[in-house]
Structure 1
């Protein structure tokens, strides 16, 4: 049975600016092109889960503006249930992305009305029932806290993408099922960069001490992912791809990790293998949501690399 996923998180409009290299301070450079695309860490993860076959419901906030209209339409196109999406006066979230020819990207995030997503209407979304909740740090911390409390009370899986990282972002949050920062977020949270097995283990242990999740799953880019918890201490490698744009690869990983963890009955290693494939495929196309793979594409990738 398909997993039912509740997104409690962000939705943004992305502006992607392609250039040979990012400018130095006070320098201007000529770019190749630019385009808009749906984005936001929460929305990217939700769409990734939906394309992989999950049933997804969104609890999020968009502005009463044209970007809000556009992003809601794109969610509906992806089959995401928008019943619990809120609209507020103000700007829909926006992300400016510079994408260099090398594949390096840099993001500036303007949360907009995402930071007006309230905790007090969450129970309505939870009352519809779900198997897992997707969370990240582009909405108010009190909303994340309440979502985790409700999920824990009801025995629902919680998957927290620890980005964009903020100082002491984990303080006061109840334990989650899966805590999943990337390399730079890990260093920001615990002061340890997970560059090898020893530092991955050290960082994961420190994260365990802060939040006490069931699992820590570190996103390690082209090295794959590292899992720690419940007696598991292992690197799950990924397959190499010709990367075009890494934007949303981590979000794709998180969304499909939640979906696979539910449908594989809590097999975290198998779920991470599936999520690695989703993240790798996302790097092969330009843009955030336009690059997210379907279930058929993930399955074909895994079969080709079996």
Structure 2
């Protein structure tokens, strides 16, 4: 069982030929309202990969809440842990250019009031997985991690969006997920010199923190460092349409595979394929692939052993 403790947002998305410079107005497409939030994204990605998933999050009392929860509800995610807090649901204003790059402005709304009290006694057990991100109060993340670790669960922290995290905050974390930029930022924050590439940086972080560290590398795939080995996996070759949510897809699918008992290399291969597939469609949650699509793409690409 996977429990995701994290953000639920509505994404307001507009496409434009190029991203605006400071002070500049550029023409955009008709906007779309798409369910999002890193917590909700990871929950849906894990569910579509075949896991049983419970979402612990917060939404407002506005009309946006129904849209924000719609894909999770349709996908069969357990929403009994959703809290109603305050007037507004979190919103991300996203601009996507013709190169599939994006800018994001996040208004937290109810996410700022999410409490770890939603993790009731007995809700997480030994062998379960807790997924955390950085769009809710970090003190509540730490409280959730303590609850899960005490119950014997695996705790995975996605440091996205990046915030400087002190060493002691990883006490109840088993696995740290970052992208290449976040890996370098974390290394510098901890007083380490980033490596010459993503693999070298995650190796330094894993050694320093005594934790498994995984970095996504965009079109180069992903790399993990444990205390005993380094694992690299390629990305699936796709024509990118929108990279929004690709990292969350990776996180959710990785957790789903680990939760069902796969080894790290197997889980990373499927997570990398899923993240690539998510880049080939517009929007975050609507782009997340089902398990069947992941397996089909994996089997048909010679880059994957």
Structure 2 residue 75 is the aligned partner of structure 1 residue 68:
no
User: Structure 1 residues 119 and 290, CA, compared in 2 at 3 Å: closer, same or farther?
Assistant: same
Runs of 4+ in 1 over 6 A off after TM superposition: none
Correspondence list, 1:156-167, <5 A = 156-167=153-164
Partner of 1:25: 22
Give CA-to-partner distance per residue, 1:79-118, whole Å, 9 cap, x none: 0111111001221110011100011111111111101111
Q: Out of 268, 272, 276, which is 2:272 matched to?
A: 276
Q: Out of 130, 147, 171, which is 1:174 matched to?
A: 171
**Structure 2, unpaired ranges of 5+:** none
Q: 2:251 aligns to what SS in structure 1?
A: helix
Q: Out of 276, 285, 289, which is 2:281 matched to?
A: 285
Structure 2 residue 198 is the aligned partner of structure 1 residue 222:
no
| TM-score (normalizing by structure 2) | 0.92
User: Structure 1 residues 74 and 178, CA, compared in 2 at 3 Å: closer, same or farther?
Assistant: same
Partner of 2:91: 94
Correspondence list, 1:168-207, <5 A = 168=165, 171-191=168-188, 196=197, 200-206=199-205
Structure 2 residue 70 is the aligned partner of structure 1 residue 79:
no
Q: 2:120 aligns to what SS in structure 1?
A: helix
User: Structure 1 residues 203 and 299, CA, compared in 2 at 3 Å: closer, same or farther?
Assistant: closer
Q: Out of 293, 296, 299, which is 1:297 matched to?
A: 293
| TM-score (normalizing by structure 1) | 0.91
State whether residues 201 and 233 of structure 1, in contact with CA within 8 Å, keep that contact through their aligned partners in structure 2.
Answer: no
State whether residues 91 and 112 of structure 1, in contact with CA within 8 Å, keep that contact through their aligned partners in structure 2.
Answer: yes
Distance 1:293 1:133 in 2: 21
Partner of 2:102: 105
Partner of 1:209: 208
Q: 1:242 aligns to what SS in structure 2?
A: coil
Shift of 1:33: 3.0
Partner of 1:139: 136
Q: Out of 125, 146, 149, which is 1:149 matched to?
A: 146
Further displaced range: 153-162 or 127-136: 127-136
Distance 1:303 1:207 in 2: 31
Shift of 1:139: 0.8
User: Structure 1 residues 194 and 61, CA, compared in 2 at 3 Å: closer, same or farther?
Assistant: farther
Give CA-to-partner distance per residue, 1:134-164, whole Å, 9 cap, x none: 1101111121111111221122111111101
Distance 1:256 1:11 in 2: 18
Distance 2:181 2:68 in 1: 29
Distance 2:67 2:33 in 1: 11
Correspondence list, 1:238-277, <5 A = 238-265=235-262, 267-277=263-273
User: Structure 1 residues 127 and 48, CA, compared in 2 at 3 Å: closer, same or farther?
Assistant: closer
